[in-house]
Structure 1
Amino acid sequence: MSWNLKFHDGTLVVQGASCEELPEGFVFDSRVQAPRGPAFLYAQLVYAALNKKRPYQDAKKWDKCSDLVHRVQKKPRSYQREAVEAWCQSGYRGTVVLPTGSGKSFVAELIIALMKRPTLIVAPTLDLVGQWYDLLKLAFNEEIGIIGGGHHQIERFTVTTYDSAHIHLPKYGDRFALLIFDEVHHLPAPAYLEACKASMAPFRLGLTATLEREDGRESLLDHYLGPVVYRQNITMLSGDFLSEYETIRLLIELSEEDQKIYKESREEYLQFLRDEDISMGGYGGWQKFLKLAARSKRGRSAFLAHQRAKKIAHGAESKMNALEDILKKERGRRTIIFSNDNATAYKVSKRYLVPCITHQTPVKERRALIKAFGEGVLPVIATSRVLNEGVDIPSAEVAIVLSGTGTVREHVQRLGRILRPAESKKAVLYELVSAQTSEEFTSDRRRRHDAYQ
Structure 2
Amino acid sequence: MGRTPTLSFDRGTLILHPPPRGKAWLDFATWDDRVERFRIPANRYRELITALEAENVTFCDLAKAFVELELTARVVMQPYPHQSEALVAWQRAGQCGVVVLPTAAGKTYLAQLAMQVARRSTLVVVPTLDLMHQWYTHLVAAFPDLEVGLLGGGSRDRTAILVATYDSAAIHAETLGAQYGFLIFDECHHLPTDFNQVIATYSLAPYRLGLTATPDRSDGRHTDLDTLIGAEVYRKTAEQLAGNALADHEIVQIKVKLSQSERDRYDRLTAIRNNFLREAKISLGGMQGWQRFVQASARSQAGRRAMLAHREAKETALGTDGKLRVLADLLAQHSPARILIFTNDNATVYQISQEFLIPAITHQTPVKERHEILKHFRSGDYKTLVVSHVLNEGVDVPDAGIAILLSGTGSTREYIQRLGRILRRGTNIDKRAILYEVIAENTSEERTSQRRHGEDWTNAHKQKNPINVVQMGIDYKEKDSERSTPLAAETPTQW
Q: Distance in 2 between matches of 1:70 and 1:23?
A: 42
Matched, 1:34 2:40: no
Q: CA deviation at 1:339?
A: 1.1
Q: CA deviation at 1:283?
A: 4.4
360, 364, 385: which one aligns with 2:364 = 360
8 A Cα contact 2:28 2:48, kept in partner:
no
Q: CA deviation at 1:334?
A: 0.8
Q: CA deviation at 1:21?
A: 3.8
How much identity, in percent, do the aligned residues show? 43
Matched, 1:280 2:288: no
6, 14, 17: which one aligns with 1:15 = 17
> What is residue 423 of structure 1 aligned with on the other side?
429
Unaligned runs of 5+ in 2: 461-466, 468-495
SS of residue paired to 2:195: helix
> What is residue 394 of structure 1 aligned with on the other side?
398
Q: CA deviation at 1:276?
A: 2.5
Question: Does 1 or 2 have the higher relative contact order (CA < 8 Å, sep 6+)?
Answer: 2
Distance 1:384 1:23, change over 3 A: farther
8 A Cα contact 1:174 1:199, kept in partner:
yes
Unaligned runs of 5+ in 1: none
> What is residue 255 of structure 1 aligned with on the other side?
259
Matched, 1:98 2:83: no
Q: CA deviation at 1:255?
A: 0.7
Distance 1:23 1:246, change over 3 A: farther
Distance 1:81 1:151, change over 3 A: same
SS of residue paired to 1:448: helix
What is the one-letter code of the residue matched to 2:5?
W
Distance 1:351 1:124, change over 3 A: same
SS of residue paired to 1:122: strand
Q: CA deviation at 1:282?
A: 4.1
Q: CA deviation at 1:298?
A: 2.5
Distance 1:37 1:268, change over 3 A: farther
What is the one-letter code of the residue matched to 2:171?
I
Q: CA deviation at 1:22?
A: 2.4
> What is residue 8 of structure 2 aligned with on the other side?
6
Deviations 1:347-380 (A, max 9, x none): 2222211111112222222121111111111111
Q: CA deviation at 1:129?
A: 0.2
Further displaced range: 266-275 or 41-50:
266-275
What is the one-letter code of the residue matched to 2:342?
F
SS of residue paired to 2:197: helix
Q: Distance in 2 between matches of 1:320 and 1:415?
A: 21
8 A Cα contact 2:181 2:204, kept in partner:
yes
Q: CA deviation at 1:176?
A: 0.4
Further displaced range: 228-237 or 238-247:
228-237
Q: TM-score normalised to the size of structure 2?
A: 0.88
Matched, 1:147 2:155: no
Matched, 1:435 2:426: no
Deviations 1:399-441 (A, max 9, x none): 1111111122221211111010123211000001111101111
Distance 1:253 1:378, change over 3 A: same
What number of residue pairs does the alignment pair up? 452
Q: TM-score normalised to the size of structure 1?
A: 0.95
8 A Cα contact 1:408 1:449, kept in partner:
no
Distance 1:74 1:283, change over 3 A: closer
Q: CA deviation at 1:449?
A: 4.4
> What is residue 132 of structure 2 aligned with on the other side?
129
Deviations 1:22-70 (A, max 9, x none): 264532111011222321111111111111211222100022113x321
8 A Cα contact 2:173 2:198, kept in partner:
no
What is the one-letter code of the residue matched to 1:29?
D
> What is residue 88 of structure 1 aligned with on the other side?
91
294, 306, 322: which one aligns with 2:298 = 294
Matches within 5 A, 1:338-353: 338-353=342-357
Structure of higher CA gyration radius: 2
> What is residue 181 of structure 1 aligned with on the other side?
185
8 A Cα contact 2:401 2:423, kept in partner:
yes
SS of residue paired to 2:454: coil
Further displaced range: 258-267 or 130-139:
258-267
Q: Distance in 2 between matches of 1:223 and 1:298?
A: 46
Q: CA deviation at 1:278?
A: 2.9
